[in-house]
Structure 1
């Protein structure tokens, strides 16, 4: 589920990497306008993270998402509805996905081997965590 890259994320990444001759604002502005037309947001993530920050980023998000999913699982049957179950689950996974996509991007693009290895470890941890959530 999280390995899916949204259309806007993909296009933005391709443009960000593919163009280096114009300023940052010139690169992103057409995509911000397009995103607004579709009620989406585009932001440039901070990709200057240390290996420790990468580990902390995923561990914090994993703990938060696990807690949210546990809370959803504790909702009594008489209070279950689409909004507090399915939409809440989707929102929780989207938040985790945003973090893991950032880490995946670092794993594949960072010139720093220590950062790439730390990112790879967190991706592997994410894969294990995601499988655990299936049960």
Structure 2
């Protein structure tokens, strides 16, 4: 078609542009991710692991936007998604204290869904190009 496959549109200065409604939407977008990771897999009960996974997923999404038309890669999106993962994980910790007993959260049985967040990485990267 005569189009280049690489279309970089980068914003690498944190909080350099106006933090509008989309910044807060990105936070709310990753709250379910931060909530579901520790809920699905006990290995993501640590806040740092959930947040790093959320930031990694956000980074994959933002880097894949370099290869799509009319999309911009923005550092503010990565920051907002990381904040959303933090809020989601903190909400899980707050609610799990009310609804779950600790013996179920910290049991020694093998975790069958330990690789679920990594699978989400690949699905996000794949569906960026399919959709």
TM range (shorter): under 0.3
Q: TM-score, normalised by structure 2?
A: 0.27
Query: Which structure is higher in helix share?
Result: 1
